[in-house]
Amino acid sequence: MCGIIGYSGHRPAVEVLMDGLKRLEYRGYDSAGVAMVENGHLEMVKRQGELEVLRRALPRFEGRTGVGHTRWATCGRPSDRNAHPFISCDGKLAVVHNGIIENYATLRGELESRGHRFTSDTDTEVLVHLLEEHYRGDLRQALADTVRGIEGTYAIAAIHEKGEEIAAARKENPLVIGLGVKENFLASDVTALLSYTNKVLYVMDGETVSLTPDKVSLFNAEGTMVGREPSLVTWSAEDAQKGGFEHFMLKEIFEGPNAIHNTLLGSLDMIENGEVLPRTDFQAVKLVACGSSFHAAMVGKYAMEDIARVPTTLELASEYRYSLGAREAPLVILITQSGETADTLAAAREARRRGCRTLAVTNVVGSTITREVDEVLYTKAGPEIGVAATKTFLSQLLAMYLLAIRIGYAKGTLSHDSMRGALYSLRQSSNMVQSVLNHIHDIEEASHMIDRAEHCFFIGRNINYPTMLEAALKLKEVSYIHAEGFAAGELKHGPLALLDDSTPVIAVAIKGDHTYEKMLANISEVAARDSPVLGVGCEGDTELTRLCEQVIYIPKVRPLLSPIPVTVALQALAYFVAKRRNCSIDKPKNLAKSVTVE
Ligand code: G6P
């Protein structure tokens, strides 16, 4: 995710900015830049690539006030011109931004008609042009006026050539101020500040900030100044990168609601207006992927068939590339978090060779897959550091539902109202995930049932069959317990032979689903073989409490969307089991985040 740094004080700003950007590198980036006030005018340098590329391009700057940014592309591919900062037409203002400006297309059209010239493809650039229009000598006030017209999420920092002030604003993207003596700092996380100060002020949603070397003032959305006591940070720099969480995996599980939110923000309009898949004259769809992404594809098959009523087939990328293509679908959707998985790339080429239209779902703008396909739908989960996919998987589920809704609406299976209703339900799913996270201690408690097991089964039916395959994969990846996922109806065709009191079974049964009763019967079968059963079901389901040794509850949910909260609950379960077993959670042995070999 992008990183922001700002400095105003007595040191050469460029040194503080470059040091801060270095410490934000772990968030992932593809380009970086700085802007500073240099003898009464603004200077800016920005480059695609590593910070070293930027460093080599920097002249000797003397300025004491500046802002810097590492960009992780979401709107506009990685390039020098799309890197931040952005400068106003009069050259007097510079802006850096994290987040997504949802209404940027409309704003850009309006600004262009008023004579503003744009130099990039980003959503961010509208901010600096709006700021220029609002600026009457008070930078913070101009920023407050600017954000009033913005829909979306942001952390913004801005400077003007005339002074030592940095103005900032925040909504749903982190922003923290570091307090020094005759110098003050600003960053998107405390990691960037810890070598200078541990005295910080957290900026809250809706607030704007005015920061100079001697003073920091915070204002609420109504423009009233707010007081806040500084906090003292006791974390090390490494702890700070993890935002106070013990592991990246847990941090990234907690970023789930945001991943959902951002994936939806970036795509809702595209889905409604038909910018994704403008042509839907195909009769069938094939989904192709590897690893966790394949499990997202499996959920996608159920969603596609349920919502859009389009026949959908699935293939592992490593199989597809060598298959004969006898039952080829005209649209092939490739799902890959990294956009670099060798088998998925080869599958994309093969699909095109066979004359299919191709669409990639990926989390990385500018990744190789985006150059191999006809169309791209981006998930916007932000970079994931833990090897085990968590928030990126969640955002892939969202993408699957979005595509199903798009196809269903375009083909007339969904009316306009049902399409809006379906999108509304998807929006609510981030609240469901948040509610699971609010009760995470119950999941930690339930992890006792599993942490000593050698084998563990995960069972589910219908759309939660793939959810359980993914849950089993997650557990084996991070805890090294042998875990298998099964369609619950298949138990009696073999796996039952393996059950005894030392093999816990995790079973998901969603009240309201047409397979719910069948799942209860399967749970009874398992319990009759003495296996301890950990149930996963909806709040208030007393039947499940009666049959299972313990139950993890998720909020009441439409069965079709239940993989979203169930997934998060079981990611957390895998995490806590691995933690109890002292495993190397973020870097499991023998595994890689991106598999670029066959
Ligand atoms: C590796 C990762 C998995 C991922 C799979 C596919 O095995 O460890 O987490 O699901 O690759 O990666 P992709 O980037 O194509 O989604």
Residue 390 lies in a domain: no
Cα–Cα distance between 22 and 29 in angstroms, integer? 11
pTM of the model: 0.82
* Residue of 306, 305, 299 whose CA lies nearest to 284: 305
Q: Which of 212, 239, 266 lies at the terminal end of a domain, its last residue?
A: 239
336 contacts 308 by C-beta, under 8 angstroms: no
Helix (H, G, I), strand (E, B) or coil at 179: strand
Residue 244 lies in a domain: no
Q: Which atom of ligand 1 is nearest to the CA of 291?
A: 10
What pLDDT is recorded for position 326?
64
Residue 451 lies in a domain: yes
Alpha carbon of 298 to ligand 1 centroid (Å)? 15
Residue 235 lies in a domain: yes
Residue 465 lies in a domain: yes
Alpha carbon of 596 to ligand 1 centroid (Å)? 10
Residue 562 lies in a domain: yes
Mutate which of 338, 372, 475, 586 for ligand 1? The one with the most ligand atoms within 8 Å of its CB, which is 338
Alpha carbon of 595 to ligand 1 centroid (Å)? 7
| Residue 593 among the catalytic residues | yes
Ligand 1 close to Cβ of residue 593 (< 6 A)? yes
Ligand 1 close to Cβ of residue 336 (< 6 A)? yes
- In terms of DSSP bridges, do strands 65-71 and 166-171 run parallel, antiparallel, or are they unpaired? unpaired
Residue 502, CA distances (Å) to 422, 457, 529, 531, 571 in order: 42, 11, 10, 7, 22
Ligand 1 close to Cβ of residue 338 (< 6 A)? yes
The domain that holds 484 is classified in CATH as 3.40.50.10490
- 214: alpha, beta or left, given left = phi > 0 and alpha = psi -120 to 50? alpha
What pLDDT is recorded for position 597?
67
For the record, the structure tokens of 400 come out as 């699957």
The set of residues, in sequence order, having a beta carbon less than 8 Å from that of 165 and lying 6+ positions away, is 8, 65, 139, 140, 159, 210, 211, 212
Alpha carbon of 594 to ligand 1 centroid (Å)? 6
Residue 352 lies in a domain: no
- The total of structural domains in the chain comes to 2
The set of residues, in sequence order, having a beta carbon less than 8 Å from that of 59 and lying 6+ positions away, is 43, 45
| Residue whose token pair is 């700092």 | 185
Cα–Cα distance between 383 and 386 in angstroms, integer? 9
Alpha carbon of 388 to ligand 1 centroid (Å)? 8
Ligand 1 close to Cβ of residue 341 (< 6 A)? yes
* Residue of 333, 328, 397, 391 whose CA lies nearest to 360: 333
| Torsions phi, psi for 48 (to 5 deg) | -75, 145
Ligand 1 close to Cβ of residue 344 (< 6 A)? yes
Q: Which atom of ligand 1 is nearest to the CA of 477?
A: 8
The domain that holds 184 is classified in CATH as 3.60.20.10
Q: Which atom of ligand 1 is nearest to the CA of 387?
A: 8
Q: Which of 190, 209, 239 lies at the terminal end of a domain, its last residue?
A: 239
Ligand 1 close to Cβ of residue 379 (< 6 A)? no
Ligand 1 close to Cβ of residue 396 (< 6 A)? no
For the record, the structure tokens of 21 come out as 């950007």
CA angle centred on 589, ends 583 and 593, rounded to 5°? 110
Ligand 1 close to Cβ of residue 464 (< 6 A)? no
Strand arrangement, sheet containing 176-179: 41-48, 31-38, 65-71, 3-8, 184-187, 176-179, 199-202, 231-232
Alpha carbon of 542 to ligand 1 centroid (Å)? 37
* Residue of 524, 455, 534, 535 whose CA lies nearest to 495: 455
177 contacts 185 by C-beta, under 8 angstroms: yes
Ligand 1 close to Cβ of residue 369 (< 6 A)? no
DSSP state of 560: G
Q: Which atom of ligand 1 is nearest to the CA of 292?
A: 10
Ligand 1 close to Cβ of residue 594 (< 6 A)? yes
Residue 516, CA atoms < 13 Å, CB-side half-sphere: 15
Catalytic residue chosen out of the listed positions 199, 556, 587, 593: 593
The set of residues, in sequence order, having a beta carbon less than 8 Å from that of 269 and lying 6+ positions away, is 102, 275
> Tens of pLDDT along the chain (598 residues)?
689 999 999 999 999 999 999 988 877 789 999 999 999 999 999 999 999 999 999 999 999 999 999 998 888 889 999 999 999 999 999 999 998 898 999 999 999 999 999 999 999 999 999 999 999 999 999 999 999 999 988 999 999 999 899 999 999 888 999 999 999 999 988 888 988 999 999 899 899 999 999 999 999 999 999 999 998 887 777 777 888 899 999 999 999 999 999 899 867 777 778 888 888 888 899 999 999 999 999 999 999 999 999 999 999 999 998 888 766 789 999 999 989 898 999 999 999 999 999 999 999 877 889 989 999 999 989 888 899 999 999 999 999 999 999 999 999 999 999 998 999 999 999 999 999 999 999 999 999 999 999 999 999 999 999 999 999 999 999 999 999 999 999 998 998 889 999 999 999 999 999 999 999 999 999 999 999 999 999 999 999 999 999 999 999 999 999 999 999 999 999 999 999 999 999 988 888 777 766 6
Ligand 1 close to Cβ of residue 18 (< 6 A)? no
Range of the domain at 146: 3-239
Residue 594 lies in a domain: no
Query: HEC profile for 102-141?
Result: CCHHHHHHHHHHCCCCCCCCCCCHHHHHHHHHHCCCCHHH
Alpha carbon of 390 to ligand 1 centroid (Å)? 11
Mutate which of 253, 287, 290 for ligand 1? The one with the most ligand atoms within 8 Å of its CB, which is 290
Alpha carbon of 392 to ligand 1 centroid (Å)? 10
Q: Which atom of ligand 1 is nearest to the CA of 388?
A: 9
Cα–Cα distance between 403 and 29 in angstroms, integer? 27
Question: What letter represents residue 104's amino acid?
Answer: Y
Q: Which of 239, 270, 303 lies at the terminal end of a domain, its last residue?
A: 239
What pLDDT is recorded for position 213?
98
Catalytic residue chosen out of the listed positions 2, 75, 456, 538: 2
Query: HEC profile for 444-465?
Result: HHHHHHCCCCCEEEEEECCCHH
Q: What is the CA radius of gyration of the chain?
A: 25
